[in-house]
Amino acid sequence: SLRCFLHLEAARDNNLLTFELQDKAARALLVEPISPEAWMRLYYQHARRVFQAGLRALEYADSQDPSLLRQFRDWRSRLSTSELTVSRDRIFLRNPGETLQSAESILRLFAFAGRHGLRLSWDTQRRVRSELEGIAQRFLERPPAWSTWRELFSTPHTALALEEMQDTGLLAAVFPEWESVDSLVVRDFYHRYTVDEHTLVAIKIIDELIAHRPGTPTHFHEFAGEQDDQVILRLALLTHDLGKGTNPGDHVSGSMVAARTLMERLHVPQPVQESVFFLIEHHLDLSLIMNGRDLEDAATARFLTSRVGTQEDLRRLTLLTYADISAVNPTAMTPWRLEQLWRVYSTGAEQLTRELATDRIHEEPFLSKDPSVSRKLAGFLDGLPKRYLRTHTSEQIEHHSTLEQRCKRDGVAVEISREPGAYLLTVLAPDQPGLFAALCGTLASFGMNIVKAEAASNASGSAVDLIRFADPMRTLELNPGEVSRLQWTVECVVKGSVEVTDLLKRRRRVPRPNVDARIAPAVRFNNEASDSSTLIDFVGEDRPGLLYDLTSAISGCACNIEIVLIDTEAHKALDVFYVTRNGAKLNETTQHRLQTELLRVAVEA
């Protein structure tokens, strides 16, 4: 009826549905006139069903093809599992009755699709659709563990998996909040997609960015290497526009409410929830700064950091903004807009780095139910960077304060805890020259690979060193007793009863990147970023033991590390050190000598 309407209106063969014709169709084609937005929503819902019917016909025709080419395409069948089998690039259920009786196994089906980039067969889709009501009930009664949801949101083809969930109706059945944006139309010339399609396209853009598909910007790809960030980003993108269906006047608030309900149902850990809430609340900020602020004005940098707070949040917000703008329409992310977004990120990152040394905690109120605890915490926090408050929960801060008391009693406090994909080494010790280098060397001697670290000291002279490290050989996992031995070794090194150099003699040497390494090392000094320290910015190829070599070189030049912020993006080390010598900034002679040493240890075999 729509095509006939278009032909009659144009008095010729015309299938272009313009805004004006949408208005007319909404008034003329139904018994009761409805708004153009509601009419277009109906149109898209019907069009999706027609499209799916066409795909079914093509799949059936392909299944009848006896050619050698079809048999060649069947090579993917080796991906089959005990629950699933793959044929002609489609996923079939081996035992539908058993698989569809468990929410956990149903979710594994879509995680499998996301991991391998495969779509469900028509038979599998049909079976899921026919069981939707029962499946929704199973997800309520015995919901899958967060680890299974995390696996889904970590797959390289998450967008495809979510598309399959939408096509079967499972997405709305499991997430009732999704119904409000399903086929929801935003009627303007700028937005090409419906809200649900925009959401899935944005997640697909993140998938492509992580995979570094041709055409994706390299500098943003390097941001997206951390798996925890990928899960947070995809979850934030899935929920960031849900409020457009429930609270269009203030969709950010509506999205926050919907996201809270959704994530509680998924049992998302609190730190992940807080990161997702932050991204939803601020997902328009960078666009507004790009379009309405002077990026050369120092006030813009201060405004941005007041909204963001940490390097990690800024990085994730930049990636989300890139995906959000790119998913508005295929040409929305112009080269100029891409450059502006990069400038906004660079402005914020530089200001946050500057504030790391200058913004310290002094008489910061910290509320606790016990006034004596509040006084103790205030004493512990005094002198630490304000970033510490932004990146740690109140429970973590109280725990670190307790460790400081243990340190004062025993001389050092060391803890090693397991985290998703990594371990966390927490050390509270009296601040001393070479402490951080010694910790890095101890981890290197055990074959551990440092992926992220922070170190600072408070006004009472206690160093707070937090080092996240990976165990590539699974030494600690396969030998639980090694955790205690590593912890004991760290304590001995801090107390001075064991020398790091002796530990490193037994370390298996690994080849270091030479001068032709893919990422050439670079060292930059900045005496303007801090009132009291020299900022050293190191970028280079990451490798086991690199951080120990860098920090040893700094200590070897009689310099003291005041604050350190370590990060790793893919195979690139991004290390920031605030350094002094004899309590003052480094002069040009010391800078030149230290630069030579840092570059030497970074490339020397």
Q: What is the mean pLDDT of residues 147-154?
A: 96
Question: Does residue 435 fall inside a structural domain?
Answer: yes
Question: Does residue 405 fall inside a structural domain?
Answer: yes
Q: For residue 564, give the nearest of 464, 426, 494 by alpha carbon.
A: 464
- With 0-12 / 13-18 / 19 or more C-beta atoms within 10 angstroms meaning exposed / middle / buried, residue 546 is buried
pLDDT in tens, 232-273: 999 999 999 999 998 888 999 999 999 999 999 999 999 999
pLDDT of res. 469: 94
User: Which two three-digit tokens encode residue 400?
Assistant: 């670190």
Question: Does residue 302 fall inside a structural domain?
Answer: no
Q: What domain range includes position 505? A: 388-603
- Among 62, 78, 111, the domain-final residue is 62
β-pair type (534-541, 119-120): unpaired
Q: Please state, in angstroms and rounded to a whole number, the distance separating the CA atoms of residues 358 and 437.
A: 23
176 or 294, which is more confident: 176
Domain count within the chain: 2
Q: For residue 96, give the nearest of 128, 121, 132 by alpha carbon.
A: 128
- CA R_g for the chain: 28
- With 0-12 / 13-18 / 19 or more C-beta atoms within 10 angstroms meaning exposed / middle / buried, residue 469 is buried
Beta bridge pairs of residue 457: 463
Kind and range of the H or E run holding 214: none
Indicate the average pLDDT of the chain: 87
pLDDT of res. 26: 82
3-class DSSP state for residue 519?
Answer: coil
Question: Does residue 251 fall inside a structural domain?
Answer: no
Q: In this model, does residue 515 exceed pLDDT 50? A: no
Q: What is the mean pLDDT of residues 481-490?
A: 96
- With 0-12 / 13-18 / 19 or more C-beta atoms within 10 angstroms meaning exposed / middle / buried, residue 58 is exposed
pLDDT of res. 48: 85
User: Which two three-digit tokens encode residue 15?
Assistant: 């299938």
Looking only at Cα atoms, what is the longest distance across the chain? 93
3-class DSSP state for residue 497?
Answer: coil
User: DSSP class of residue 513?
Assistant: P
Query: 264, 235 in Cβ contact below 8 A?
Result: no
Q: Please state, in angstroms and rounded to a whole number, the distance separating the CA atoms of residues 50 and 33.
A: 24
User: DSSP class of residue 165?
Assistant: H
- Estimate the share of the chain in helix, then strand, then coil, as percent rounded to the nearest 5: 60, 15, 30
pLDDT of res. 370: 52
- Chain mean position to CA 393: 19
pLDDT of res. 507: 66
Q: Please state, in angstroms and rounded to a whole number, the distance separating the CA atoms of residues 387 and 401.
A: 16
pLDDT of res. 70: 56
217 or 151, which is more confident: 151
Question: Does residue 555 fall inside a structural domain?
Answer: yes
| DSSP assignment of 449-496 | EEEEEEEEE-TTSEEEEEEEEE-TT-HHHH-THHHHHHHHHHHHHHHT
Query: 46, 29 in Cβ contact below 8 A?
Result: no
User: Which two three-digit tokens encode residue 571?
Assistant: 């195979």
pLDDT of res. 376: 76
pLDDT in tens, 519-541: 789 999 998 877 788 999 999 88
What is the identity of the amino acid at 459?
A: A
Q: What is the mean pLDDT of residues 416-427?
A: 91
- Among 14, 47, 62, the domain-final residue is 62
| Phi, then psi, of 579 in degrees rounded to 5 | -125, 145
Q: Please state, in angstroms and rounded to a whole number, the distance separating the CA atoms of residues 169 and 148.
A: 20
pLDDT in tens, 317-364: 999 999 999 999 888 898 888 999 999 999 998 888 877 777 778 765
CA dihedral 75, 76, 79, 82 (to 10 degrees): -80
68 or 95, which is more confident: 95
User: DSSP class of residue 581?
Assistant: B
CA dihedral 265, 271, 277, 282 (to 10 degrees): -160
Residue 64 pLDDT level (bands cut at 50, 70, 90): low
pLDDT of res. 532: 82
pLDDT of res. 65: 62
Residue 511 pLDDT level (bands cut at 50, 70, 90): low
pLDDT of res. 67: 62
Q: For residue 535, give the nearest of 577, 594, 574 by alpha carbon.
A: 577
User: DSSP class of residue 203?
Assistant: H
pLDDT of res. 585: 92
Question: Does residue 23 fall inside a structural domain?
Answer: yes
pLDDT in tens, 180-198: 999 898 876 667 889 999 9
User: Which two three-digit tokens encode residue 3?
Assistant: 């095509």
pLDDT of res. 72: 53
294 or 198, which is more confident: 198
pLDDT of res. 517: 45
Question: Does residue 278 fall inside a structural domain?
Answer: no
CA dihedral 377, 382, 386, 389 (to 10 degrees): -10
Question: Does residue 6 fall inside a structural domain?
Answer: yes
Q: Please state, in angstroms and rounded to a whole number, the distance separating the CA atoms of residues 345 and 347.
A: 5
Share of the chain above pLDDT 70, in %: 92
Q: In this model, does residue 179 exceed pLDDT 70? A: yes
pLDDT in tens, 455-474: 999 999 999 999 999 998 89
| DSSP assignment of 338-389 | HHHHHHHHHHHHHHHHHHHHH-B-SS-----SSHHHHHHHHHHHTTSBTHHH
pLDDT in tens, 353-404: 877 777 778 765 554 555 555 677 888 999 898 888 888 888 899 999 999 9
Beta bridge pairs of residue 575: 538, 566
